[in-house]
Amino acid sequence: MKRIYSNISLASRNSFGVEQQATTLVEFECAEDLRTYFEEHNPVKWYVLGAGNNTLFMQDYDGVLFTPVNRKRTILCSNDDYVELRAEAGHDWDELVEWSVNEGLWGIENLSAIPSSVGAAPVQNIGAYGAEAKDAITTVEYFDVESRSVVRLTNADCHFAYRESIFKQELKGKVIILAVEFKLSRHAKPNLGYGDVISEVESRGGATLRNIRDAICAIRSRKLPDPKVLGNAGSFFKNPIVERSVADELLAKYPDMPHYAVPGDDDHVKLAAGWLIDKSGLKGYRDGVVGVHDRQALVLVNHGGATGGDVMRLAGYVCGKVKENFGVEISPEVNVL
Ligand code: EPU
């Protein structure tokens, strides 16, 4: 069943909390809802707005926004080793993680407390604390707008990489994700190698699913602002991937600079945009109603009443300073509309 809104405020539908409107917003549950809408209206300009945690509106949206509202979860297969399950695109991401932890299922616990809908998770391959959604996703099902058909992609066909997938590349603007399928293990597979995760988990008594989830939630709430209190979209920038020679030169100058291997690619190194911004003296920087978060420099925040333009001006300033200081280009991971 779909619901159609006209001239609707987006203030409560984007985590930056910017006050813009959309000409039309369609809440849909299934492929049939989309098929009938496209057949009846054939919109030229459209965009998928999930929970709105990774989108910055620069102006009113004069097209159609599609929001998935189906929150169903179905177990497809369950045995002594693993469970395969399907979650519809409108399912809340963190509710899925909470459910998996309660069920004793391993694979997405490190992705606790990420504000997202399930449908958005494969698009940028959400990742945190050494885990990525791609490690648990088996299949993504989508509605193909041109053919009006339902297509299923296997994990390999999604071309997942760091903050990347086919949905940000070849399929961008062509498909609407309907559901995501996961395989979660019944066998303990703690992934504690990232930063202070291990000490947080140990202080709670060891590597149970519940302790890992609680530890990650605690780390995140210490560093990241709650969008309900302070508008933000999590990491505003991607961590830049640079040539090894560039990283080596910077490391000679800043031996303590955080840097990470890029799996399967020895010629490149991933740097921490948060560190580059912080080292540029911008952590906690404020420009009127917008600023750089004072506990995690990757996050830009709306102190109240900001427009998309205010945020983008600050983003441009931050990129310029990082380029000036380190010669490295950083770019937004947030979708700017
Ligand atoms: N750092 C600083 N200052 C800062 C921020 C970070 O010096 O203000 C340093 C940290 O000390 C650390 C390194 O930079 O040595 C990396 O920092 P952190 O572990 O906090 O992770 P990140 O690279 O800044 C990424 C993700 C986050 C995710 C964390 C934890 C991206 C763009 N962001 O941030 O994702 O929670 O790792 O895994 O990859 C999000 O996508 O919204 C998000 C919050």
Which of 100, 117, 165, 235 is an active site residue?
235
Residues 100 and 171 in one domain: yes
Nearest residue (by CA) to ligand 1, atom 12, is: 258
Residues 18 and 100 in one domain: no
Cα of 176 from ligand 1 centre, angstroms: 29
Cα of 144 from ligand 1 centre, angstroms: 34
Residue 221 lies in a domain: no
Pocket of ligand 1 (CB under 6 A): 128-129, 194-195, 224, 234-235, 238-239, 258, 272, 274-275, 278, 283, 296-298, 333
Atom of ligand 1 nearest to the CA of 223: 20
Which residue shows structure tokens 């998770």? Answer: 121
Residue 209 lies in a domain: no
Let me know: does 15 contact 233? Beta carbons within 8 Å.
yes
Residue 256's domain spans which residues? 231-336
Residues 330 and 274 in one domain: yes
For residue 100, give the CATH number of its domain.
Answer: 3.30.465.10
Residues 56 and 92 in one domain: no
The pTM for the full model equals 0.96
Q: Which two tokens mark 155?
A: 């994990």
Atom of ligand 1 nearest to the CA of 130: 38
Which of 35, 71, 163, 313 is an active site residue?
163
CA distance 318 to 326: 12
Task: Quote the strand ranges of the chain, DSSP E.
Answer: 3-9, 21-28, 46-48, 55-56, 61-68, 73-78, 82-88, 127-128, 131-132, 137-144, 149-154, 175-185, 231-235, 241-243, 259-262, 265-271, 286-287, 290-292, 299-302, 335-336
Domain ends where: 68, 102, 122? 68
- Most distant CA atoms of the chain, gap in Å: 61
CA distance 46 to 174: 10
Residues 84 and 185 in one domain: yes
Is 235 catalytic? The answer is yes
Atom of ligand 1 nearest to the CA of 53: 42
Is 163 catalytic? The answer is yes
Residues 105 and 173 in one domain: yes
pLDDT per residue rounded down to tens, the chain (337 residues): 689 999 999 999 999 999 999 999 999 999 999 999 999 999 999 999 999 999 999 999 999 999 999 999 999 999 999 999 999 999 999 999 999 999 999 999 999 999 999 999 999 999 999 999 999 999 999 999 999 999 999 999 999 999 999 999 999 999 999 999 999 999 999 999 998 999 999 999 999 999 999 999 999 999 999 999 999 999 999 999 999 999 999 999 999 999 999 988 999 999 999 999 999 999 999 999 999 999 999 999 999 999 999 999 999 999 999 999 999 999 999 999 9
Q: What is the pLDDT of residue 2?
A: 87
Atom of ligand 1 nearest to the CA of 128: 38
Nearest residue (by CA) to ligand 1, atom 6, is: 274
Domain count, the chain: 3
